[in-house]
Every structure is written in C-alpha cells, then in structure tokens.
Chain A
Amino acid sequence: MSAPKTIPKDAQVMIQILKDMGVTEYEPRVINQMLEFTYRYVTTIIEDAKIYASHAKKSAVDADDIKLAIQCRMDQSFTSPPPRDFLLEAARQKNQTPLPLIKPYTGPRLPPDRYCLTAPNYRLKSIQKKVCSSSSPPTPEPVEPVCSLTSDPSVWSSGTPSVQSVSSKVGTPVSLTGQRFTVQIPPPSQTATTKTTASPAVSNVLINPSLIGSKNILITTNMVAQNAGGDALKRKLEDDDDYDAL
C-alpha cells in the first residue's frame, strides 16, 4: 500500500525511526500507536517539568527541569530489572535453605489463607436491622469465592434458629479484597440458621482423610468464612456504622 501524498510530518519521522531501528515489517496502525505513545510521553514529561519549574520559582521551563522530569518518570514507569550481582546474591541466599519436607495427606496444598484469593470478596447487608444482641446480618453463602450469589432461601429454612448460636458464630464475612456487594435478602429470621446445622457436618467431613482430595477445596473455603465471621463480631461496632452509611 503506497503512502498517500500527505502524510503528516510526525508520521514521516516515525516511519524513519522505525526504519533506523531495523523494523521492516509492521502493520500501518503501528505508526499511529507509536505516535500516540510519543505524544502522551512527551506531554507527561513537559507537564512534570512545568510543575518542577514553578516549584523552583522559575519563570520558564529549562533543561534541568526536563531532565529531572525524565529521571523521575524513568524510576516510576520504565524500571529495569535488578542488576545481576543483586540477583546472584539473592539467589545464593535463597538457595541455601533446604527444600521443605512435604507433609502427607494435607488436602489441597495451598499457602496460608491470607496469601490465597479464596476468601469471599463481598458481604451482604440486610434491609432490617436486628435490634437484639448481635444484630449481625446473616451469613450469605460464601462458597464460591467469586461473587456468584447462590442464595437459596429454601435451603436455609431448615433447622431451628436460635439466637445464641447465631451470635456465637455467624457473622458477616468481611471482605478481604475491598470489593463490596450489597444484596437485599428476605427477612433475617428465616435465614438465621445458615450454617448452624451445616458446620458440624462440614467439620466432620474435614476430619475424614479418606475423602478424595478434591472436595477439600470447598471445605477450606467454609472454614475461612467461619473464621472471618469470628473477626467480624469483634469489629461489630464499626461495621454497624458502615452499614448505615451504605
């Protein structure tokens, strides 16, 4: 495809640069992309330089400002990997420790929970606030860590709700990832059971080692929810404020 008669000068310069760097085959849109990058980069640098110049109470931007702006941007965006001696030293230290032994029969081998992404990243808010004691909104189903809310009220209404058991264990799993979903769900009294009956069964299953390892993933998640619930109770007071704000 031959070039039309009127390519802007900038594009011609970019074509020349690509040729000098040895790039012979490229799609036509590459020039546009390169130009966009160039404009954005130069604009950022010059704006930074203007800020530095005004900070130094200079009337005009001069070369030193530009140099400073470039240097700061380099440290920020275009970092390069660590130098070789640093890597060799880090490697030497890391490689000295022997490989850790593997404990048998521990189910899915995952790092401690705070390094995993298995915690639920949402919490539920109830429409009515319970006046009595814990007033912690009921637990949703925190099974799927990605927020697919499979709330099936019919499942929950089994068993006798008891306020004590609710307050003792069930709390809102507080989001560990900072993302929050709020869902209006039907009256809490019905759903207060949640895991009361479920958890004992769940924990029983966990103890049984003869189960195939695949199931344990889910069980771990449930345990997380329970632990998070405990934490939530402690922070109950602040949480209430949050709910109000929402």
Chain B
Amino acid sequence: MAAVQGSIVDAKDEADIKTEPAADGFGNNHANDAGVLSASPGSSAAAGNNKPAAGAPEDQQTLLAVLQFLRKNKLSESAEILRREAGLPEEVLDPKGADSAGSGLGSGADIDGGDASALLSRVTITAAGGAKAPTKAAGEDQPDVNVVLSAYSQQGDPALYEVYYSGLKKFIESVLDCHRAELSQVFYPLFVHMYLELVYNNHEAEAKAFFEKFSGDQECYYEEDLRILSSLTKKEHMRGNETLLDFRTSKFVLRISRDSYQLLKRHLQERQNNQIWNIIQEHLYIDIFDGMPRSKSQIDAMSGSLAGEAKREANKAKVYYGLLKEPEIELPLDDEDEEAENEEGKPKKKKPKKDSTGSKSKKQDPNAPSQTRIPLPELKDSDKLDKIMYMKESTKRIRLGPDNLPSICFYTFLNAYQGLTAVDVTDDSSLIAGGFADSTVRVWSVTPKKLRKVKTASDLNLIDKESDDVLERIMDDKTASESKCLYGHSGPVYGISFSPDRNYLLSCSEDGTVRLWSLLTFTCLVGYKGHNYPVWDTQFSPYGYYFISGGHDRVARLWATDHHQPLRIFAGHLADVTCTRFHPNANYMATGSSDRTIRLWDVLTGNCVRIFTGHKGPIHALAFSPNGKFLASGATDGRVLLWDIGHGLMVGELKGHTECIYSLRFSRDGEILGSGSMDNTVRLWDAMKAFDDLETDDFTAATGHIHLQDNSQELLLGTYMTKSTPVVHLHFTRRNLLLAAGAYNP
C-alpha cells in the first residue's frame, strides 16, 4: 500500500470521488459511508497526504483526526502508514486531541475560501465526523460508529452554523413572495435543532452566540419555548427534560407546496449548504402537497405546536362522530300527574325529545358507532328514572339564540384564598363540588335539599324494604348538612367529575392518584394508582363506568371503576396532558396538552385518530358539541378554536378573551358556546352561525388549507364581567340556564 505521492489534482479527484457519496449519503446511508471510508484507507491516506500541500496547522489536526478514525476501525496497518508518512508523534490516542481536532478544523476551514476550501471542508467534515466517533463512543452508550454518525453527531463545524443559517435566511428573503411564507416555516425548527446540536456537542459558547443572534427572528408565538431553550446551555440540562428529548427524536412536520419545496431543495443541495440539508432530512418531515402555496395567515393559524403541524395522513382515519341511539323508554302514565298542561293522558310513545335523538330511530346513522362497539353498562331502573326526568326537563328547555341569551347564575367561592383548583356540577345541577389546593374536596347541594349519608348497616336492617319511599328511608337525617368534606388526597385536587347517576365522584390530584368517592356514604372507595406524577384532569364517561385521566407523564389513561389498572393507555403527546374529555358517544375522547396540540383517540383501539394544531399555548379547556360533530378548545393564548372532527379541520377561531380560557361549554342544543377565562369574563358565542355555512370541498379536505373568516366580532353575543373572579367552570342546566363558578380573587 504505497502512499500516493501524486499531484494535487489527482489526490483531489480521489478525495472528490470519495466524498461525493459520503456527503450525499451522510444522513441516510451510513453503512455505505463507513464502508467506503474503510474500504479505501489508501485514498484516505492519500487525502491525508493531500493536506500538507494545502497548509500546515489545520492539516495536522485533520491528520490526527483521520488517524483516530483509522485506529478506531482497527485499520492498524493504514494507521501506521499514515502516521509514518505524516510524521506524527506516537501517542495520539487522546480523545481530547480529537476534540480539539474538531474545533481546530473549524478555524482551519474558516481561513481558506473558495472552492478548494469547500472540497476540503467536506473532507474535513467527514474526517471530523469520524474523529467525533471516538469521543462520542466514550461518552454515549452507542459504541457503534454508524449509529453514532447518524445520531446527533457533528453535522458541520460549530462556528459555521451561523454562516449556514444566515445564508439560508438570505436565500429565503430573496425568493418570491408567495413562497416566502411557506419557506419561513423552516426557520424555527432549524434554529432549535441547530442550537440543540451545539449544546449536545458541548459547544457552549457557540451555542450562546448562535442563540443570541437568531432568536429574535423567530415568530412571536414561540417565545415561551425560546425562553426555555435559553436556559439550556449544557448537555446535562437536556437530560431531565423529557419534552426536549422527545422534540429531538421526533420529526417536526411542515407542510410545504411542491413548488416551494423544489426551490428549497435546489438551493440547499448546491454548494456548501449540505449541512442544513442534512439537518432538514434528519429532523424535519416535509409534507408536500400539490397546489397553491399557503399565505402567511393560513400558516400562522395552523402552526404553533411543539411538533409542527399534523401530517395529512394523521387526520384521515374514519371517526364515528354520531351519537348513540337512545334506548326506548315509555313514559309511564302515572308520572304525568304533575304535568298539568299535558293533554289527555295518552301513553306517549317514544319520540320523547323533539331535538336530539329524533325521528331517525329506525335508520342507523352512518356516522354513528354501533351500540356494541364498546361495552357499555346496561340501563338500571334508576337510570331509566333519570332518563325520564331528563326528558321531562328537556321539554321545558328554553331555546337559545342570538336574540334569546341565557341567564347566567354565578356561584362564587368565597374565602378560598386562591385554593380553588377544580369544580364540577352534576348533570341535573343538584350538586356542585370543588377541589382545593389543600387536598380536600367539598360537595355542596345546590337545591334546598340537604346532603345526607346513608344509614349504618344496623339501622338499615330495621327499615321496611318494601315500602315505596325506601330510597328516602335509607338516608340518615341526622347527618344532613349543606356541604360535605371529603378528605383523602395528599396534594392539590386538580380535577373533579360527577358520575352521571350521581352516585360517585372522581377526583384527581397532584399526588398521582385518582380517587373514587361514594356520594351515599361520603367516603372514599378506591384509589387508582397508575400515573406516578400529578394528574391534571379526569372525567367520567357520559354513560358511567369508564373514566379517563391525563397527567404529567404525558399519557392519558382509560379506566373502568372495577379494574384497578387502566384499560387503555393513550401515549403520543410530547408534553403533559392537561385536559381530557369524552365524546358524547363515549367511543372517542379528546386530550389537550402542553405541547399545544389536541388529539382525538379511539377508546376501542387506543389509536390517535386526529391531531389538531393551531393553538399557541397549552390547552386547558375542551368541549364537544352536543351533536358530536365539532370540538371547541381554549388555551392560554386566549383564543377559542373550533374543529370539525369528521374532516379533521379547523373551522373557526374566536378571538376576544385576553387571558387563559379555563372553561368551555356548549348549550344543551348546541346553539351557544360559553367560554370562561382568567380575565374575569364569561363570553357567549353564536355556535350555530359558526358551524352553519361550512363548505368543505375536496380541495380543502385534501390539502388542509383553511380559510378562516375573521368574524369573531359577529359571533360574540355578549361579554359578562365578574368583579374579580376568574371563571373556572361553566355548566348549562337541562333547561339552558348557564351556571358559572369561580373563586373570588380580590
């Protein structure tokens, strides 16, 4: 293996040929890479020998680097030859040497200019990549060089990152207007990934400089993320932050039209911009669509989440958003005596509510899931009684509309000292419960009827079980009180939910458990342990028996009251799950998260069927419309977004609140949407109009382009201010009176 003392041109050609496949295949074809390099140690030696011709100090470093690489790959003969040829000293095995080789290369490459340096830098970088391998193999758990090269390895020289980024900036500013908005989407993920790479490879100073120079250019809605990033300057800081680790390993999704994409690709593949191209290939997923490039406002509407937008395939699964059929219940004759205005006591057949279930009871709604898709508890007698009450109340329901706004009754929690963390009201509005930061749960009776416990077992034996009012007799009047306090949690209670049959209450807390309380004995029955981290929200299913919870461990879980372990785990969010809501048909559930996305999950399979991006802050409120077709969401950015579940698109945006929105509720027939927020107001929006004229043509469905009308002002029906009380909960009673709750905060 004679060293090739050829002319510079020859050696350069060889270097050229060798590095072409290396550079192109860098991100993708590492096996080939290492193969190429190790298969031609002669040529690498040649390349190494080429260096002295170009300049002494940097080449020394390069030589050391190449030597390291050869030694690492156990090419001892070639290593010896190289060492002898280059006249390097014996002990060059110091990993730190390789490190300084890496940084030395940087300065070296900086000095030269022109095409020769470009070629040189490519070779340098390949060698640097190889040189980095020993250090990384020492530092990480992955000794495999291929894998190391493919991981967050040095894609280029740290000092050059700024150059690459500014180059890209200049290019994008020079393209046509229509493409510029789309291509600007690339800035943020590229910036974050480059910064994280610098931090990960311990180039603290360069990382700081890079951050300072370019962080100001990013979009304003990424401000929170950037602040977190700015505090992250060392590799150790990254280790505990799961969200950032997920961000590193997951691909940021961008939607770019084909023309813009071609432009970008062409620019990046020529000349030295390969580094950015590599990063893009590795960390970004570009969803290309054919059609017109999107405008800035369209892009802004959909972007903002931690993982970019949603891929179009993610929103293509079929979702059965219809409601389940109501069971046939005959109104018994004797129940009509209280209804004075009812006509001749003719037996009412089923067609009870004029509104929801309606006349299509024979035909199966094609969009509704079958009754047996998920097992649901059967209807007990008490449930049937409840349903009858429900139907009666709904006949007295007020029809709301823009000219017929609901009255709002506000329940203010006094002396809570900012400790009120959760509120829930039963469906028939008879009980209200509050969860507090001192880990207690209190239940109050809204009606004049007091709360009573069930009698003790010995007393129960004495009552007449066959009497008609046995349900009254089992109650112990000695224990009657306005409110009952439930003790058991060991941390602030962040979520409460009543069961539909009013027998149980669920509460979830920072101690990681979800507790089931009995509302007959007012004692705790079960503690469900599964999340080991704070649980932020919980909710019973509309039919009882199942409930969901979501917490800090980034998953939501589905439980049944008689299983001590969850039945389903919904994993996929990149940050905490802050809000969990069941769909009215109990077959799907929605989760809102701190990663600023909303996901819709199928309870049967546990798959994520929809991803909705567009919020610019963590989501704290979700509400399904009563007909099951639409979802409303509120976040800390103060906007309410409306989503069409069937098509998976954003259909409306309601601007008006100035602070975080903590509660959303549709009226019983879905005509009005109420939103309550930290800015001490309740706002009512015209939901009927917002969902009314939606033409979702094929193009919109296929590409996901949305045209949002800026009609928030028209849709706003009223703003109602409280004195100084943030609105934590909203609830429409069965007759469409709006109840609101919050803690007075002077």
Let me know if A110 and B606 touch, CB within 8 A.
Answer: no
Q: How far is the CA of A174 from the CA of B241 in the complex (A)?
A: 45
Is A150's beta carbon under 8 Å from chain B? yes
A residues 108-151 near B (Cβ < 8 Å) are 108-112, 115-118, 141, 143-146, 150
* Cβ contact within 8 Å between A222 and B457: yes
CB distance from B366 to the nearest CB of A (A): 23
Interface: B555 (CB within 8 A):
yes
Indicate whether A118 sits within 8 Å of B454 (C-beta atoms), given known contacts A81-B533, A95-B605, A202-B461: no
Contacts of B465 in A (CB 8 A): 205, 211
Tell me the B220-268 residues at the A interface (CB within 8 Å). Answer: 227, 231, 240-242, 245-246, 249-250
Q: Is B368 an interface residue (CB 8 A)?
A: no
Question: Is there a chain B Cβ closer than 8 Å to A99's Cβ?
Answer: yes
Distance between Cα atoms of A108 and B527 in the complex (Å): 15
A100: contacting residue among B456, B457, B566, B567, CB under 8 A: B567
Q: Which residues of B contact A100 (CB under 8 A)?
A: 375, 560, 563, 567
> At the interface with chain B, which of A42-50, A52-60, A86-94?
A86-94
> Bound complex: CA of A144 vs CA of B522, how far in Å?
10
Question: In the complex, what's the smallest C-beta–C-beta distance from B375 to chain A, in angstroms?
Answer: 5
In the complex, which residues of chain A have a beta carbon less than 8 angstroms from the beta carbon of B518? 108, 217
Nearest chain B CB to A9's CB is how many angstroms away? 22
Is B408 an interface residue, CB under 8 A from the partner? no
Instruction: Check if A117 sits within 8 Å of B460, measured CB to CB.
Output: no
A215–B460 CB distance below 8 A: yes
B456:A81 contact, CB within 8 angstroms:
no
A144 touches B246 (CB 8 A): no
Supposing A101-B375, A102-B378 touch, asked if A91 and B570 sit within 8 A by C-beta, the answer is: yes
B377 (CB) vs chain A CBs: closest residue: A102
Closest B residue to A197 using CB positions: B461
Query: Quick check: A91 and B381 within 8 Å, CB to CB?
Result: no
Interface residues of B in 537-572 (CB under 8 A from A): 545, 552-555, 560-564, 566-572
CA of A30 to CA of B4, assembled, Å: 70
Tell me whether B461 and A201 are in contact (CB under 8 A).
yes
Cα A102 to Cα B567 in complex, Å, equals 13
| B407 interface hit (Cβ, 8 Å) | no
> Which residues of chain A in 1-53 are interfacial with respect to chain B, using CB atoms and an 8 Å cutoff?
20-22
Q: What band does the interface of chain A fall in when counting residues whose beta carbon is under 8 Å from B?
A: 35 or more
Minimal beta-carbon separation of A179 from chain B (angstroms)? 13
Known: A21-B227, A95-B568, A217-B518. A104 touches B523 (CB 8 A): no
Q: Is B371 an interface residue (CB 8 A)?
A: no
Q: Could you say which residues of chain A place their CB within 8 Å of the CB of B360?
A: none
Residues of chain B contacted by A80 (CB below 8 angstroms)? 240-242
Q: Is A74 an interface residue (CB 8 A)?
A: yes
Choose among A95, A150, A221 the residue with the greatest number of B CB atoms under 10 Å from its CB.
A95
B569 and A95 contacting across the interface, CB-CB below 8 Å: yes
- Contacts A104-B378, A115-B564, A205-B465: A198 and B458 contacting too (C-beta < 8 A)? yes
Contacts A91-B569, A212-B471; is A99 near B525 (CB within 8 Å)? no
Residues in A whose Cβ lies below 8 Å from that of B561: 109-111
Question: Is A82 in contact with chain B by the CB < 8 A criterion?
Answer: yes
- Whether B527 lies near A91 (C-beta < 8 A) is no
Whether, in the assembled complex, B396 has its beta carbon less than 8 Å from a beta carbon of chain A, the answer is: no
A152 partner, pick from B377, B458, B566, beta carbons under 8 A: B458
Q: Point out the residues of chain A lying under 8 angstroms from B604, CB to CB.
A: 99
Q: Are B521 and A102 in contact (CB under 8 A)?
A: no
A213 and B606 contact, CB distance less than 8 A = no
Chain A nearest CB: distance from B568 CB in Å?
6
The verdict on B405 contacting chain A, using a C-beta distance below 8 Å, is no
Task: Select A141's contact among B227, B457, B567, beta carbons within 8 Å.
Answer: B457
Residue B28 is within 8 A (CB to CB) of chain A in the complex: no
> Which A160-212 residues have C-beta < 8 A from chain B?
198, 201-202, 205, 211-212
CB-based contact A99/B552 at 8 Å:
no
Q: Which residues of B contact A146 (CB under 8 A)?
A: 523-524
Residues of B within 8 A of A150 (CB): 456
Query: A81 touching B552 by the CB < 8 A rule?
Result: yes
Q: Report the minimum CB–CB distance from A91 to chain B (whole Å).
A: 4
Whether A218 lies near B569 (C-beta < 8 A) is no
B362 touches A (CB below 8 Å)? no
Question: In the complex the two chains form, is B525's CB within 8 Å of A116's CB?
Answer: yes
Chain B residues, Cβ within 8 Å of A101:
375
CB-based contact B375/A102 at 8 Å: yes
Q: Does A155 touch B at the CB level, under 8 Å?
A: yes
Residue from B461, B521, B552, B562 within 8 A of A109 (CB atoms): B562
Tell whether A95 pairs with B572 under 8 Å between CB atoms, given A115-B526, A218-B460: no
For the complex, is A76 an interface residue (Cβ under 8 Å from B)? no
Asked if A84 is at the interface of the complex by the 8 Å CB criterion, the answer is yes
Asked whether B376 is an interface residue with its Cβ less than 8 Å from the other chain, the reply is: yes
Q: Is B354 an interface residue (CB 8 A)?
A: no
Is B503 among interface residues, defined by CB-CB distance under 8 A?
Answer: yes
Complex formed: what's the CA distance from A116 to B554 in Å?
26
- Give the residues in chain B near A105, CB-CB below 8 Å: 378, 380
Cβ B554 vs Cβ A99 within 8 A: no
CA distance A145 to B456 in the complex (A): 11
Contacting residue for B545 out of A20, A109, A111, CB 8 A: A109
Q: Does B520 contact A (CB under 8 A)?
A: yes
Of B470, B520, B525, B606, the residue contacting A91 (CB under 8 A) is B606
Task: Write the nearest CB–CB distance from A224 to chain B, whole angstroms.
Answer: 11
In the complex, chain A residues whose CB is within 8 Å of the CB of B525:
108, 110, 116-118, 217
B474 on interface, CB distance cutoff 8 Å: yes
Query: Taking the complex as formed, is B382 at the interface, i.e. its CB lies under 8 A from any CB of chain A?
Result: yes
Q: Does B329 contact A (CB under 8 A)?
A: no
**Cβ distance B125 to chain A, nearest Cβ, rounded Å:** 30
Cβ-based interface call for B374 (8 A): yes
- Known contacts A99-B604, A100-B560: A117-B527 contact under CB 8 Å: yes
Taking a contact as CB atoms closer than 8 A, the residue among B241, B503, B569, B571 that contacts A214 in the complex is: B503
B606 cross-chain contacts in A, Cβ below 8 A: 91, 94-95
**Out of A22, A88, A99, A115, which one reaches B572, CB within 8 Å?**
A88
**Chain A residue, CB-CB nearest to B460:** A218
Measured between alpha carbons, how far is A22 from B225 in the docked complex, in Å?
A: 11
Smallest CB–CB gap between B323 and chain A, Å?
Answer: 20
Rounded to whole Å, the gap between the CB of A241 and the closest CB of chain B is 31
| CB atoms of B555 and A218 under 8 A apart | no
Do B242 and A116 touch (CB < 8 A)? no
Contacts of B567 in A (CB 8 A): 94, 97, 99-100
* Residues of chain B with a CB closer than 8 A to A102's CB: 375-378, 545
Cross-chain contact A81 with B474 (CB below 8 angstroms): no
What residue in chain B is nearest A90 (Cβ atoms)? Answer: B569
Which of chain A's residues have a CB closer than 8 A to the CB of B250?
Answer: 84
Closest B residue by C-beta to A222:
B457
Contacts A80-B240, A144-B521: A87 and B456 contacting too (C-beta < 8 A)? no
A81 close to B375 (CB less than 8 A): no
Residues of A within 8 A of B523 (CB): 118, 144-146
Known: A81-B533, A110-B562, A143-B458. A218 touches B521 (CB 8 A): yes
Other A-B pairs, 5, CB within 8 Å; known A22-B227, A88-B572, A95-B569: A80-B241, A94-B569, A100-B375, A102-B377, A218-B454
A interface residues (Cβ-Cβ under 8 A, vs B): 20-22, 74, 78, 80-84, 87-88, 90-91, 94-95, 97, 99-102, 104-105, 108-112, 115-118, 141, 143-146, 150, 152, 155, 198, 201-202, 205, 211-215, 217-219, 221-222
Q: Which 4 A-B pairs have the closest CB atoms?
A: A95-B606, A115-B564, A81-B553, A91-B571
> Can you give 29 contacting A-B residue pairs, CB < 8 Å?
A74-B240, A80-B241, A84-B249, A84-B554, A87-B554, A87-B569, A91-B568, A94-B566, A94-B567, A100-B563, A102-B377, A102-B545, A104-B378, A105-B378, A109-B561, A111-B563, A115-B564, A117-B527, A144-B523, A146-B524, A150-B456, A198-B457, A205-B465, A211-B465, A213-B382, A217-B525, A219-B457, A221-B457, A222-B457
